[in-house]
Amino acid sequence: MKFHAMLISSALVMWSCSPTIENSQSFRDTPKSVEQIQANLVSESSPAPLQCDLGIKAFETSVYKMVRSQCIACHETGPGPTFAVADINASYARLINYVRFQNIPQSYLVKKGGNQHCKSYGVDCGVDFNRVTAEIQNWWSGGESQCPSTAKNRTEELEMPKNLAKGQHQTMKWDLGTVNPSLANNFLEVEVERFTEPANGQEGSFRFGRPRLMAGGSNLYFRALRFVQNGNLVAKADSYSWIERTIGRNESPVISGAHQILIEEKSNADRVALAFDELSLVGPKKCLHQDVFEKNVYSAMVDRNCFACHAGGPDKEKGIPLAVKNFDMSGTLDRLCGSSLARADSLFPTLSPLISYPLRRANGHPGIFASPGEVTPTWTDWIGSEKD
Ligand code: HEC
Ligand code: HEC
């Protein structure tokens, strides 16, 4: 409970800070390098990165100490992007996006932070490539390497499918048994397509969507799905990093309606793994408030006749094949409550696929609700009430 409350409040703080980062972009007039695009990639719906105390502690005595003493002339209130701020959590959340712990010398923070650009703005900040590299190394070995988000729960690497084309999805499927043999028979499937082709010396990019967790014979709990590209955790690829969910056995819900873009690093040779902050088999999970579900959610499903496509409901509809395959709403109320919960986010209820599909037409879903007021607070109250 306390944990959830903390996450939400830090998310709000970071959301309210992000316009500062946005504004500072206009300061630049040079064309953006790929690293800059990567460092600045903003995903469609990413409330906040999850942080780890050990990582923050190590950050405090290494990179944070350096930027607070050598870089504040321009990076506390500008004109450069404001990452050397007094709020250590805000500073951490920004700087971690400039770092590749698995290949520190290639980090944007090294290349840009050690290149003495301060001199071209009239200040000698006295920091070179070696110094930045050493401070990031201290951050990593002093604690960040023990954070679950950067080190644990990684799947096997898969090669990106060759010949990806725009608008033509291919499916990638990771066996979660490669994270840990006890997780055999659970899979994460995601669709991927080409987003941009490489052109004029700029790398291309991929777009992922419809991530689907396929639980085997046990219930599966996960928190924070992240991407690892060629061995490096891509901190900016955070579209799914705030999701926390328990998936009932034999369920395979889409876990988000949002997309994630990755910049291609090696032409037709990128390898991608997934990482979870937490991933484990758990005991049975049932709806705690089926009465609230019936009153607040089921009634609207009947009103809007979701069942015409998804099957079930009072008239025992047959539905249409694709909708039934992806989300079969037939059967008992208990079952529907559980499979709806598997498509709901307790931390950020309005971002739930259960809501984003029919309200915001995620992935081209028919628009069933015309305004957010039709699902808030009724649906979001139910989702909130299910948080244990
Ligand atoms: C005298 C001013 C000044 C000082 C001192 C300075 N910088 Fe900068 N820095 C800038 C400006 C202005 C920009 C934005 C324009 C650009 O990219 O050159 C920038 C950009 C950056 C960026 C790119 C951020 C982004 O979002 O693309 C990084 C990283 C960076 N600085 C690191 C550092 C580090 C590390 C230090 C301290 C060791 C430092 N800078 C000291 C002026 C400064
Ligand atoms: C006119 C037909 C139709 C109606 C009515 C409809 N849906 Fe759907 N729905 C679909 C189709 C088709 C899919 C599969 C599309 C896809 O995965 O891209 C789908 C997929 C979904 C998904 C994603 C499931 C998953 O795990 O992949 C959710 C959530 C969803 N619908 C919720 C609803 C809700 C809630 C309602 C009623 C308020 C509703 N739908 C009404 C056709 C419909």
- Nearest CA to 273 out of 210, 211, 230 is that of 230
Q: Is the pLDDT of residue 34 over 60?
A: no
- Verify whether ligand 1 is closer than 6 Å to residue 110 (CB atom): no
Q: Is the pLDDT of residue 64 over 90?
A: yes
Which ligand sits closest to the CA of 245? Answer: 2
Collapsing DSSP to helix, strand or coil, 100 comes out as coil
Give CA separation, 294 vs 67, 166, 289, 318, in Å: 54, 41, 9, 21
Instruction: Name which residue sits closest to atom 5 of ligand 2, judged by CA.
Output: 306
Instruction: Name which residue sits closest to atom 13 of ligand 2, judged by CA.
Output: 323
Among 28-32, 67-71, 101-105, 114-118, where is mean pLDDT lowest? 28-32
Residues 241 and 214: beta-carbon distance below 8 Å: no
- At 21, the pLDDT band (50, 70, 90 cuts) reads very low
- Verify whether ligand 1 is closer than 6 Å to residue 112 (CB atom): yes
How far does the centroid of ligand 2 lie from the alpha carbon of residue 242, in Å? 23
Residue 339 and residue 328: Cα distance in Å, rounded?
8
Sequence length of the chain is 388
Which pLDDT value is given to residue 283? 85
State mean pLDDT over 140-164: 81
Nearest atom, ligand 1, residue 66 CA? 38
How far does the centroid of ligand 1 lie from the alpha carbon of residue 319, in Å? 57
Q: Is the pLDDT of residue 377 over 80?
A: yes
Which ligand sits closest to the CA of 365? Answer: 2
How far does the centroid of ligand 2 lie from the alpha carbon of residue 18, in Å? 33
- What letter does residue 199 receive in the DSSP assignment? B
Residues 278 and 223: beta-carbon distance below 8 Å: yes
- Verify whether ligand 1 is closer than 6 Å to residue 155 (CB atom): no
Among 28-32, 139-143, 207-211, 303-307, where is mean pLDDT lowest? 28-32
How far does the centroid of ligand 1 lie from the alpha carbon of residue 350, in Å? 36
- Verify whether ligand 1 is closer than 6 Å to residue 137 (CB atom): no
| Tens digits of residue pLDDT in 103-141 | 788 788 999 999 999 999 999 999 999 999 999 999 999
Which ligand sits closest to the CA of 24? Answer: 1
Residue 170 and residue 159: Cα distance in Å, rounded?
12
Instruction: Name which residue sits closest to atom 6 of ligand 1, judged by CA.
Output: 118
- At 294, the pLDDT band (50, 70, 90 cuts) reads very high
Which ligand sits closest to the CA of 73? Answer: 1
How far does the centroid of ligand 1 lie from the alpha carbon of residue 73, in Å? 10
Residues 309 and 299: beta-carbon distance below 8 Å: no
How far does the centroid of ligand 2 lie from the alpha carbon of residue 361, in Å? 9
| Tens digits of residue pLDDT in 173-194 | 999 998 888 899 999 999 999 9
Query: What burial letters (b/e) apply to 121-159, b meaning 16+ CB within 10 Å?
Result: eeeebebeeebbbebbebbbebbbeebbbbeebbbebbe
Q: Is the pLDDT of residue 30 over 80?
A: no
Which pLDDT value is given to residue 51? 60
Nearest atom, ligand 2, residue 369 CA? 38
Instruction: Name which residue sits closest to atom 17 of ligand 1, judged by CA.
Output: 28
H or E segment and range at residue 103? none
The model's pTM: 0.64
Map out the domains of the chain as residue ranges: 34-45+150-282, 53-146, 290-385
Collapsing DSSP to helix, strand or coil, 339 comes out as helix
Nearest atom, ligand 2, residue 354 CA? 29
Residue 128 and residue 192: Cα distance in Å, rounded?
39
Instruction: Name which residue sits closest to atom 10 of ligand 1, judged by CA.
Output: 80
Which pLDDT value is given to residue 108? 86
